[in-house]
A and B are shown apart, each in its own frame.
Chain A
Amino acid sequence: MSAAFIYTILSLSIIAVISAVILYFTARKFKVEEDSRIHEIESVLPSANCGACGYPGCHAFAEACLKAEVLEGLYCVPGGNECMAKIASILGKTVTEKVPMIAVVRCNGDFNARKKTTNYDSAKTCEIETFTYAGDTDCAYGCLGLGDCVKVCPFDAIHMDTTTGLPVVDEDKCTACGKCVIACPKDIIELRKKGLKNRRVFVSCVNRDKGGPALKACKAACIACGKCVKECPFGAIVLENNLAYIDDDKCKLCRKCVVVCPTRAIHEVNFPPRPVQKEEGPESVTKEIKRN
């Protein structure tokens, strides 16, 4: 009996030793020389493999950084300037700073502002609903609320607000990778500058219909009245295709447009609350269309 054990152990050990020798020599023969800096770069990257840099993952981006002569045109969106500075120091190259951006949802048509006029019950994705028809409200431009943007976000930074049926961006998590911008079939989500102290002013509507039909479809729509354009002291607002758009390069965050907008389509984010308006406040405020 004991002899059987000994033979087994012996033969297995011999196989193990031979395999080890073969493996050792094959490993030496087929060794791939990889720059150790790739691992260093990868360790500073966020490892989300989001693809926002244009490469199929963080490893590919690290390789691209290593190969590139200048870091111009290479940018890790989620990592931001901090990450790029680290990469630059690893490689001994220089990098220019980029302005931080954030995804902004430009639709304000919650359940109160625009009523559902039809009942959509096919596949629950925005892409297919857009392909089937204009949408289940009268507004053919607005958010469909089926959450293609939520499904595509690699950072869990966008969520559906069930009380409004609109997506909400988590400012701390959003890295402006732009995946939701591509996923949204209605082109509602836009990447905008994060702004000073995270403060932003933007038109929260993409309805390109004329004023009357737009307001009929949604009480919170931009009706292209042009008041904001007249009010803006910096010429930052343009009216195109029946829709106001605020250029975030020119906007100085004075918030004058927010006050004059009759449908409250212009939003301000992260500003301290305004002082309480007096009764005889500006005429435009009293004329506001009341939302139910």
Chain B
Amino acid sequence: MFANIKTFPVGGIHPHDSKLSAKQPITVLPLPETVSIMLSQHIGAPAVPVVNPGEKVKTGQLIAKSGGFISANLHSSVSGTVLKMDQVVEASGFKRMAFIIKVEGDEWADGIDHTSAIKTEITASSDEIRRKVADAGIVGLGGAAFPTHVKLSVPEGKKADFLLINGVECEPYLTGDHRLMLERAEGILIGVRLALRATGIKKALIGIEANKPDAINHLNRLTDDDPGIEVVPLKVWYPQGGERQLVKALVNREIPPPPKGLPIDVGCVVLNVATCYAIYEAVQKNKPLIERIVTVTGDAVKNPSNFLARIGTPIKQLIDAAGGLPESTGKILSGGPMMGKCLSTMESPVTKGTGGILLVPDNDAHRKEVQACIRCARCVSVCPLGLEPYLLMTLVEKDMLDRAEQEKITNCCECACCSYTCPANRPLLDYIRLGKFNVIQRMRKQEKK
């Protein structure tokens, strides 16, 4: 169907994609009784509260202000009373500050258009778009939750010539972006045009993996008359949704190595399709980021579904809405099977970065016995960054951080291809992640000196 299909050249794997909920339309989740909105849902400084316990808030009202340039505003996702500020267990198991809001009706703040009518006409100027995106507290909805207004502000001295839209959704099981592209494509495309205007870029490429032909065809049809936006089908190959891999696959450029290299260094801005939709809502309809699509799925789940859930909804409610927790569940992941984090409690709330909830049956949930490395180099051949995971793991184990730094441990994107493919079940990524953190810490300390 797609001749000369593009992908990134080094490493990668193709896990079974198990998109169980791909045919399920997006359903709006009923409002919960209380929501807990975490103060830090994004990369960067936590937001600073602007409402006090006891106050009444409306849906979409600002409740915490951005705490710096790399930070994001926070809005109430429901209307009701702020009960208290309390410590809530987040996905990592640690307790963090959150607003607890009791839901009373659904009264929206003034000036927000929350109907489904599509507003095509773009009137906002570039500065206005950036300001509205920042006001709406939009962060990257692909998972990393990087504040979007920062991405849309091209730094001085740098020139962007490609806007890359990430509709890859290479994580198995997750289908939120796929459904969004099928059901809200018009909104996404307006979001793309807004982003083009904000950054001054002329050309947008939408990368979609070939296992979503319906989405590719749908978007192709809608962009026929627009030479500025092109839909590019990509080979089904994990981790194509990673920024580095996507830039390489779509425009064949290589981002300089982390922690400093960013897509903007090679003239690219990368946005997720869901982020584009959020930009559309924020600019055209004044609607802040208060809800997102969360896929609830798993092999034993009764009704795998795509929910439109308000931020702060307890994850338990999503699982109940998908037919309840199957008895065989051994592990609940927030995110996909490759990069998702294991939840320690179902009371944790949905945050801006929650893309999916995956219920893993008990017999798949456990790690197998770790054996000695047999030097088969499978991890080397699948690493999309050309690293040697087996070596890095040993270096971290032996605390040889100097050598690990030389071996570019900081380039690791934590895609977990190495751990996935290891025949000896070695916890490669666990060690590499730790080593990467320690090396970066050390580099920062040396920089300060």
Contacts and interface: CB of A to CB of B under 8 A. Distances in A.
Interface of A: 117-119, 121-123, 127-128, 131-135, 140, 209-210, 213
Nearest to B367: A121
Nearest to B331: A119
Contacts of B366: 119, 121
Contacts of B95: 140, 209, 213
Contacts of A209: 87, 95
B430 A132 contact: yes
Contacts of A123: 370, 427, 430-431
A140 B431 contact: no
A132 B341 CA distance: 9
Max chain A Cβ within 10 angstroms of own Cβ: one of B87, B341, B430: B430
Interface of B: 87, 89, 92-95, 341-342, 344-345, 366-367, 370, 427, 430-431, 433-434, 437
A100 B93 CA distance: 38
A118 B367 CA distance: 14
B437 A131 contact: yes
B427 A213 contact: no
B341 A128 contact: no
Question: What DSSP secondary structure best describes chain A's contact surface?
Answer: loop
A209 B87 CA distance: 9
B344 A128 contact: no
Given A117-B344, A121-B366, A133 B93 contact: yes
A209 B97 CA distance: 12
Contacts of A210: 87
Contacts of A140: 93-95
A230 B430 CA distance: 46
A106 B11 CA distance: 46
A117 B341 CA distance: 16
A122 B344 contact: no
Contacts of A117: 344-345
Contact of B87 (A128, A132, A213): A213
A128 B94 CA distance: 15
Which 7 residue pairs of A and B lie closest in terms of their CB atoms, listed nearest first?
A: A134-B93, A133-B93, A123-B427, A134-B94, A121-B367, A123-B430, A118-B344
Given A117-B344, A134-B344, A122 B430 contact: yes
A133 to B, nearest CB: 4
| Most chain B beta carbons < 10 A, residue from A121, A135, A213 | A121
A122 B93 CA distance: 16
Nearest to B433: A131
A209 B95 CA distance: 9
A133 B345 CA distance: 12
27 contacts: A117-B344, A117-B345, A118-B342, A118-B344, A121-B366, A122-B367, A122-B427, A122-B430, A123-B370, A123-B427, A128-B431, A128-B434, A131-B430, A131-B437, A133-B92, A133-B94, A133-B341, A134-B89, A134-B92, A134-B94, A135-B93, A140-B93, A140-B94, A140-B95, A209-B95, A210-B87, A213-B95
A134 B89 CA distance: 10
A210 B84 CA distance: 15
Contacts of B434: 127-128, 131
A210 to B, nearest CB: 8
B393 to A, nearest CB: 9
A127 B434 CA distance: 8
A114 to B, nearest CB: 13
Contacts of A119: 366
A249 B93 CA distance: 36
Contact of B342 (A131, A133, A135, A213): A133
Nearest to B344: A118
Contacts of A134: 89, 92-94, 344
A123 B422 CA distance: 14
Nearest to A208: B95
A209 B86 CA distance: 11
